[in-house]
């Protein structure tokens, strides 16, 4: 009798599952066939029930698409598995030579560890460590060790005209303020030039302020940089009617770091020759002074919550460093090889069928399938220690990150945790939700050949709301 009751329960259970699957398919098919967006563009969708282990829906899920920033899912999951949750980014301060009566008879060295969160306060700690060591004069050079990375500061397939925007900094193992400056302009007396404040303070950049306060005839306020000539002159023109700001990248992140370090040392009374900066590897005989450490989860949270490209590329670089044969001059190719090996050996997908060029999804040469991205989501879910960190770093619908303005109503609100992706022609979404029947769902949606992102985001939000309400 008990056996019969057990079989009856299973029959009822799986009947319910099949009915839910059929309903899901029908409603998604109806949405795909009726949405005007898909008359002129493509979409790939795959939906998986993590509770039952069954695929609920797929539509063009094996086709290749440019992923945009949902590629950060690939980078994040691989990094968490291969590097481990306790991994730390390190920027090391050391010296070569001897310290005698306040004079460093030798070189002061900074070894870059590709920390994307290294800010002005961290540099102040470097300066303090120099003072605490009793150094008043550096007789030799300021050495920047950037041997972690090869010479390419941008990835293949990156759009050169995205500079000087802050979302495309010049990559370097030594990054200060994310390779950018924050510019704030406020009105002064009418007719006078606006007040300009730039942080971090440095003599590495120049300011050309031609703005006019409270004078509409001066035209629209413009804040830019002479990026076409790789210059670092901040140009401000037009009318300053209220407080305005902009963040711009600077050319040559490694030199920005070291020149600002020299500038801050001199402001603290530590004498350094202005032309003393060089870039090379630090010798094994160097004496440690200080190490700035950054936990992995801090970097990953910015990469996923805010879709930060620099943070994702920093994780990508660490993968190459940890998994490559050579820890020096790590190239994009080295990082690609590590990602491909994990894809093949841990997920069972052949990397030859896809193209992972960078860690952020910026490259227009990236090609993945929705089903491949789903495999990373499902892998994370099956590894609880990994999943805890990964899930916590994903944007929450209607609450924070790149989803703070989406799905603010309905049952999808606070329910969907997903990575967004947007580049020209592409809009994507990949993550998790819980349906009203309590089942955990993973999903991937990639809209391709879209002229505007808003209709694609609306379509994705409809899919999520439909999945949440699935019984």
pLDDT tens for 202-240 read: 999 999 999 999 999 999 999 999 999 999 999 999 999
Q: Distance between CA atoms of 279 and 270, rounded to whole angstroms?
A: 20
The mean pLDDT value of the chain amounts to 94
My answer on whether 390 and 459 are in the same domain is: yes
The burial of 18, by beta-carbon neighbours within 10 Å (0-12 exposed, 13-18 middle, 19 or more buried), is given as exposed
My answer on whether 280 and 401 are in the same domain is: no
My answer on whether 93 and 80 are in the same domain is: no
Nearest to 44 by CA among 30, 25, 58, 31: 58
More confident residue, 296 or 156: 296
Q: Is residue 162 part of a domain?
A: no
CATH number of the structural domain spanning residue 107 = 3.50.80.20
My answer on whether 336 and 269 are in the same domain is: no
My answer on whether 225 and 260 are in the same domain is: no
My answer on whether 274 and 372 are in the same domain is: no
Structure confidence by residue, pLDDT tens digits, 300-313: 999 999 999 999 99
Phi, psi of 285 (to 5 degrees): -85, 0
Contact between 143 and 282 under an 8 Å Cβ cutoff? The reply is yes
My answer on whether 218 and 186 are in the same domain is: yes
| Inter-axis angle of helices 120-132 and 253-267, nearest 10 | 50
My answer on whether 237 and 285 are in the same domain is: no
My answer on whether 244 and 308 are in the same domain is: no
Structure confidence by residue, pLDDT tens digits, 310-360: 999 999 999 998 876 667 789 999 999 999 999 999 999 999 999 999 999
pTM of the model as a whole: 0.92
Domain-terminating residue out of 294, 316, 351: 294
My answer on whether 192 and 231 are in the same domain is: yes
For 112, other C-beta atoms within 10 Å of its C-beta total 25
Q: Is residue 456 part of a domain?
A: yes
Q: Is residue 164 part of a domain?
A: no
Contact between 315 and 82 under an 8 Å Cβ cutoff? The reply is no
Q: Is residue 2 part of a domain?
A: no
My answer on whether 267 and 232 are in the same domain is: no
Structure confidence by residue, pLDDT tens digits, 96-114: 999 999 999 999 999 999 9
Question: pLDDT at residue 87 above 90?
Answer: yes
**What confidence score (pLDDT) does residue 21 get?**
61
Q: Is residue 166 part of a domain?
A: no
Phi, psi of 260 (to 5 degrees): -70, -35
Identify the bridge partners of residue 46 per DSSP, sorted by sequence position. 58, 444
Domain that holds residue 240: 171-249
Phi, psi of 73 (to 5 degrees): -60, -45
Contact between 347 and 379 under an 8 Å Cβ cutoff? The reply is yes
Q: Distance between CA atoms of 159 and 166, rounded to whole angstroms?
A: 13
CATH number of the structural domain spanning residue 352 = 3.40.710.10
Domain-terminating residue out of 294, 319, 354: 294
- Write the DSSP string, 199-255: ES--SSSEEEEEEEET-GGG-S-EEEE-GGGT--EEEEEEEE-S-EEEEEE-S-HHH
My answer on whether 140 and 278 are in the same domain is: yes
**What confidence score (pLDDT) does residue 24 get?**
80
Q: Is residue 5 part of a domain?
A: no
Q: Is residue 324 part of a domain?
A: yes
- Helices and strands in the chain: count of H runs, count of E runs: 10, 18
**What's the total number of domains in the chain?**
3
Q: Is residue 265 part of a domain?
A: yes
């Amino acid at each position: 009798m008990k056996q019969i009751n057990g079989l009856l329960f299973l029959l009822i259970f799986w009947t319910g599952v099949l009915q839910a699957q059929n309903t899901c398919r029908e409603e998604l098919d109806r949405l795909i066939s009726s949405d005007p967006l898909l008359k002129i563009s493509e979409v790939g969708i795959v939906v998986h029930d993590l509770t039952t282990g069954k695929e609920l829906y797929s539509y063009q899920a094996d086709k290749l698409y440019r992923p945009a920033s949902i590629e950060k899912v690939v980078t994040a999951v691989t990094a968490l598995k291969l590097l481990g949750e306790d991994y730390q980014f390190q920027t090391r301060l050391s010296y070569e030579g001897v310290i005698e009566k306040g004079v460093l008879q030798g070189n002061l060295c900074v070894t870059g560890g590709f920390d994307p969160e290294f800010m002005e306060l961290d540099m102040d700690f470097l300066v303090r460590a120099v003072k605490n060591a009793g150094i008043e004069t550096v007789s030799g050079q300021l050495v920047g060790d950037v041997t972690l990375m090869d010479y390419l500061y941008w990835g293949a397939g990156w759009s050169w005209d995205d500079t000087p925007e802050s979302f495309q900094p010049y990559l370097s193992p030594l990054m200060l303020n994310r390779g950018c400056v924050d510019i704030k302009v406020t009105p002064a007396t009418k007719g006078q030039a606006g007040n300009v404040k730039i942080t971090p303070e440095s003599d590495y950049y120049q300011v050309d302020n031609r703005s006019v306060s409270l004078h509409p005839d001066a035209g629209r306020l413009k804040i830019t940089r002479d990026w076409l000539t790789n210059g670092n002159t901040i140009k401000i023109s037009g009318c300053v009617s209220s407080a305005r700001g902009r963040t711009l990248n600077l050319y040559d992140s490694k030199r920005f770091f070291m020149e600002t370090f020299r500038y801050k040392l001199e402001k603290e009374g530590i004498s350094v020759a202005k032309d003393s900066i060089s870039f090379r590897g630090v010798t094994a005989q160097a004496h440690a002074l200080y190490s700035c450490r950054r936990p992995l989860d801090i970097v990953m949270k910015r990469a996923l919550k805010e879709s930060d490209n620099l943070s994702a590329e920093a994780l990508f670089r660490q993968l190459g460093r940890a998994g490559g044969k050579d820890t020096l001059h790590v190239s994009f190719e080295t990082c690609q090889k590590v990602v491909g090996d994990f894809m093949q050996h841990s997920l069972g997908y052949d990397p030859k069928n896809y193209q992972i060029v960078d860690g952020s999804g910026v490259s227009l040469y990236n090609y993945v399938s929705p089903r491949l991205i789903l495999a990373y989501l499902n892998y994370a879910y099956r590894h609880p220690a990994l999943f805890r960190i990964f899930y916590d770093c994903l944007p929450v619908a209607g609450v924070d990150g790149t989803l703070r303005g989406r799905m603010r109503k309905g049952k999808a609100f606070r329910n969907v945790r997903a990575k967004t992706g947007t580049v020209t022609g592409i809009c994507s979404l990949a993550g998790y939700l819980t349906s009203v029947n309590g089942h955990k769902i993973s999903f991937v949606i990639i809209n391709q050949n879209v002229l505007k992102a808003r209709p694609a985001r609306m379509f994705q939000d409809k899919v999520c709301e439909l999945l949440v309400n699935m019984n």
